[in-house]
Amino acid sequence: MSDDLQPLSPEKGVERFLRHHKPSVRETSFRNAKHRLSVFLEWCDEREIENLNDLDGRMLADFVDWRRNDVAPITLQKQLSSVRQALRWWADIEAVTDGLAEKLHAPELPDGAQSKDVFLDPQRARAVLEYFDRHHYGSREHALIALLWRTGMRRSAARSIDVDDLEPDEHAVRVEHRPETGTTLKNGEDGNRWVYLGPEWFAVLTAYRDNPDRPKVTDEHGRRPLFTTQQGTRPTGDTLYKWVLRALHPCTYDECLHGETPDSCEARGRAARLAQCPSARSPHAIRRGAITHHLNQDTTPEVVSERMDVSLEVLYEHYDARTEREKMEVRRENLP
């Protein structure tokens, strides 16, 4: 970190940039920039980056790797352009080093880059969950995939859940914003809610809670996290990301779709690059797939909005992956 830089948190930096940016752009462009930078803030939160001064080229490369499996290449390029614009402005106000924006490189666009954003298909979700139901019931991966698919919650919400947040009488889980004890929700206290699972889905979480292989952890704040690591800690967002990638590799629950063997595959093994699997799917892809599946199952957008903690505007613009025909089918079922 340069001595010439002035400390600035990512949240304050984004807030100041958007305030500067708003008068000079259309409303739609401003909303897009706000959403794209909210993703950057999510990454900063997961990496525990508290000062923009600390950013460097390697960290920005990590951000690109983190985001590239959640969205199509064309979408990634658009998102990085907004972050790059913010980086240039932050350099002007001495919050990041000069020239840092030019170190944020977007991957080249392949053929077909205009395709829809990546999401978890319901058939694939069903296949994964059936495999864990039969062979690893109540495992950590089973509980995590079941929770994310059933609720569509963000990984920051999943990692915030404590054992005491399970509500057996309601077959539900409480999600709360608790920054003073180490966990936060993207929308702060506005994201506080109870989320209904139902008896069968709730049973998976209780089976994992009671699994003798699950480390029983009490953290420094006296809280008992539901998801725990073998090191006896609450997992970071990056750890959850890796658990999901590995669990959703096709070779985990079926067979490789890409002609690889355990010895040749770069996405498996001790030195694995998990995101290298062409079929890799991230927690955000589960969230998008879950939202789309709820909508296709005739759940009203208003209910999905509250359940998944996403505004209707953002839901339609960034999460609804239904085809126009699927949207028509849902509307037809609700016509008199």
- Please give the residue that has the higher pLDDT: either 240 or 316: 240
Summarize the confidence of residues 197-225 as an average pLDDT. 96
pLDDT at 280: 84
Q: Is the pLDDT of residue 111 over 80?
A: no
Assess whether pLDDT exceeds 90 at residue 116. Answer: no
Q: Is the pLDDT of residue 113 over 70?
A: no
- Residue 165: band (very low, low, confident or very high) from pLDDT cuts 50, 70, 90: very high
> Whole-angstrom Cα distance, residue 136 to residue 156?
24
Which pLDDT score, from 0 to 100, does residue 50 have? 92
More confident residue, 326 or 144: 144
Domain ranges of the chain: 10-103, 122-276
Of 116, 120, 63, 122, which is closest to residue 87 (Cα–Cα)? 63
**Mean pLDDT, range 244-264, rounded to an integer:** 87
Beta strands 193-196 and 166-167 are unpaired
Determine the Cα–Cα distance for residues 158 and 144; give it in Å rounded to an integer.
8
Give the neighbor-by-neighbor strand order of the sheet with 166-167: 166-167, 172-175, 193-196
- Tokens describing residue 304: 């999905």
Q: What is the pLDDT of residue 137?
A: 97
Task: Give whole-number Cα distances, 47 to 57, 148, 161, 175, 248, in Å.
Answer: 15, 21, 19, 21, 23
Is the model's pLDDT at 78 over the cut of 60? Answer: yes
Topology of the domain covering 122-276:
hpI Integrase; Chain A (1.10.443)
Fold exhibited by the domain 10-103: DNA polymerase; domain 1 (1.10.150)
Q: Give me the pLDDT at residue 237, please.
A: 86
Separation of alpha carbons 312 and 300, rounded Å: 11
Work out the percent of the chain whose per-residue pLDDT is above 90. Answer: 54
Cβ atoms 312, 302 nearer than 8 A: yes
- Structure confidence by residue, pLDDT tens digits, 168-194: 999 999 999 999 999 988 888 999 999
Closest CA to 240 of 322, 324, 320, 144: 144
pLDDT digits (tens, 9 = 90+) for 292-321: 999 988 888 999 999 999 888 888 877 887
Kindly report the backbone phi and psi dihedral angles of residue 141, in degrees, each rounded to the nearest multiple of 5, phi listed first. Answer: -65, -40
At a CB cut-off of 8 Å and minimum separation 6, what does 38 contact? 14, 186
Residue 114 confidence (pLDDT):
40
Residue among 119, 83, 117 nearest 101 (CA)? 83
**Does residue 110 carry a pLDDT above 70?**
no
Question: Does the reported pTM lie above 0.85?
Answer: no
pLDDT band at 268 (very low <50, low <70, confident <90, very high): confident
Q: Distance between CA 152 and CA 170 in Å, rounded? A: 19
Task: Take residue 54 and report the two structure tokens written for it.
Answer: 């600390």
Least confident range from 70-84, 205-219, 246-260: namely 70-84
- Provide the 8-state DSSP code for 225: B
For 135-146, the pLDDT digits (tens) are 999 999 999 999
Q: 17-65 pLDDT, tens per residue?
A: 999 989 888 887 888 889 889 999 989 988 889 999 999 999 999 999 8
Looking at residues 272-299, what average pLDDT do you find?
86
Query: What b/e string do you get for 187-207 counting C-beta neighbours within 10 Å, with b at 16 or more?
Result: eeeebebebebeeebbbbbeb
How large is the average pLDDT for residues 56-77?
84
329 pLDDT tier (thresholds 50, 70, 90): confident
Which two three-digit tokens encode residue 267? Answer: 């996405």
Give the pLDDT of residue 108: 61
Of 189, 190, 193, 169, give the one whose Cα is nearest residue 180: 189
How would DSSP label each residue in 168-219?
Answer: TTTTEEEE--BGGGTB--TTGGGG-EEEE--HHHHHHHHHHHT-TTSPP---
